């Protein structure tokens, strides 16, 4: 019997794992680092979402661990190097939330352009302020995508229908591998200098950490709007807040933050910043798609020795 530690409590879509007699699944929702280190030694498999950090420290005491399933896309919360060195396979489910995230990006972009959250607040407090919330059309504007993978591509498809001009920067993609027509590949500096809206769709890594900062913002068009549903640490929050306060950046729509929940609320309290608490992938459809695929991956791994979506494998 394989013992699996699940560190989130949304078990919807996981029935095939819970009812499988080869597995015993135990749920400990978001253990703190000390609890996590005590627990992990008893398990063969681990399932995590983005809230729980699987550090080298945790992996070092995971005596039986063979498999980490990341129920989602981003793997920045798992030390895949430490896992790989210990022979622990890490698999993610990169496709299940693509559409949900793309739709959330568009929701944020429209909210930002039309001041929907502020107008909502105002009307709910019984004020009728039609003049205060003058918006802007997105039709005819240039959308610069940083990252043209699954989510970036789905955003592009939909925003072409809104008559936006789409440009994209992706260091891993060339003209031939672009999966959509109507998107022009550009350098990162061209994205900065030409875009009216910039939306981030890159993973967090050494190249993207803090890439939106005072220096890169200087290269952007005056009045640019920035959307981030990728990872908070890609943006230097203080620099963005200063740029919005100075008027260089018109506004931002953020679903992700440097620390979640935030410790420093500066960017959230900045005017013209629309925020949601890391909700882009939180739809019923995405969670069920991810759960089904994760169950298939973990069952096949332990019972058939099959590896799928591995982001770290050694030995």
Interface region with ligand MLT, contact rule CB under 6 A, candidates 38-46, 66-74, 110-118, 144-152: 66-74
Interface region with ligand MLT, contact rule CB under 6 A, candidates 71-79, 173-181, 192-200, 216-224: 71-79
- Would you call 263 a catalytic residue per the annotation? no
Q: Which long-range contacts (CB under 8 A, 24 or more apart) does 217-223 make?
A: 217/243, 217/248, 217/249, 218/248, 219/189, 219/192, 219/193, 220/192, 220/193, 220/195, 220/248, 220/249, 221/192, 221/193, 221/194, 221/195, 221/196, 222/247, 222/248, 223/196, 223/247, 223/248, 223/249, 223/250
Distance CA 83, CA 67 (A): 9
Distance CA 23, CA 29 (A): 18
Q: Exactly one of 260, 263, 269, 292 is catalytic; which is it?
A: 260
- With binding defined as CB under 6 A, does residue 97 bind ligand MLT? yes
Residue in 62, 227, 281, 297 binding ligand MLT, rule: CB under 6 A: 281
- Would you call 231 a catalytic residue per the annotation? yes
- Shortest reach from residue 73's CB to ligand MLT, in Å: 4
Interface region with ligand MLT, contact rule CB under 6 A, candidates 26-34, 69-77, 103-111, 149-157: 69-77
- With binding defined as CB under 6 A, does residue 50 bind ligand MLT? yes
Q: Exactly one of 49, 225, 231, 237 is catalytic; which is it?
A: 231
Q: CA nearest 150: which of 107, 191, 179?
A: 179
Report the residue closest to ligand MLT, judged by CB: 72
Which residues are catalytic, by number?
231, 260, 278
Question: Which residues are near ligand MLT by CB under 6 A?
Answer: 49-50, 72-74, 97, 278, 281
């Amino acid at each position: 019997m394989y013992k699996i530690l699940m560190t989130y409590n949304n078990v919807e879509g996981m029935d095939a794992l819970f009812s499988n007699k080869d597995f015993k699944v135990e749920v400990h929702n978001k253990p703190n680092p000390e609890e996590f280190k005590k627990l992990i030694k008893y398990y063969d498999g681990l399932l995590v979402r983005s809230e729980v950090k699987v550090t080298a420290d945790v992996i070092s005491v995971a005596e039986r661990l063979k498999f980490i399933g990341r129920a989602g896309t981003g793997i920045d919360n798992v030390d895949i190097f430490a896992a790989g060195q210990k022979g622990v396979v890490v698999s993610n489910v990169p496709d299940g939330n693509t559409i949900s995230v793309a739709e959330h990006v568009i929701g944020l972009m429209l909210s930002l352009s039309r001041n929907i959250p502020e107008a909502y607040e105002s009307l709910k407090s019984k004020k009728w302020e039609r003049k205060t919330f003058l918006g802007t059309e997105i039709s005819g504007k240039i959308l610069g995508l940083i990252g043209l993978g699954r989510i970036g591509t789905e955003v592009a498809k939909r925003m072409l229908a809104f008559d936006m001009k789409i440009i994209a920067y992706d260091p891993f993609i060339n003209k031939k591998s672009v999966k959509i027509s109507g998107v022009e590949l550009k350098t990162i500096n061209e994205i900065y200098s030409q875009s009216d809206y910039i939306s981030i769709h890159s993973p967090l890594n050494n190249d993207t950490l803090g890439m939106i900062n005072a220096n890169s913002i200087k290269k952007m068009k005056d009045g640019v709007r920035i959307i981030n549903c990728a990872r908070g640490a890609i943006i230097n929050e203080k620099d963005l807040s200063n740029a919005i306060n100075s008027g260089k950046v018109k506004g931002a729509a953020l679903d992700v933050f440097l620390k979640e929940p935030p410790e420093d609320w500066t960017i959230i309290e900045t005017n013209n910043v629309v925020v949601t608490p890391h909700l882009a992938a939180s739809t019923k459809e995405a969670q069920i798609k991810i759960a089904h695929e994760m169950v298939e991956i973990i069952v096949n791994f332990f019972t058939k020795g099959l590896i799928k979506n591995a982001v770290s494998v050694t030995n």
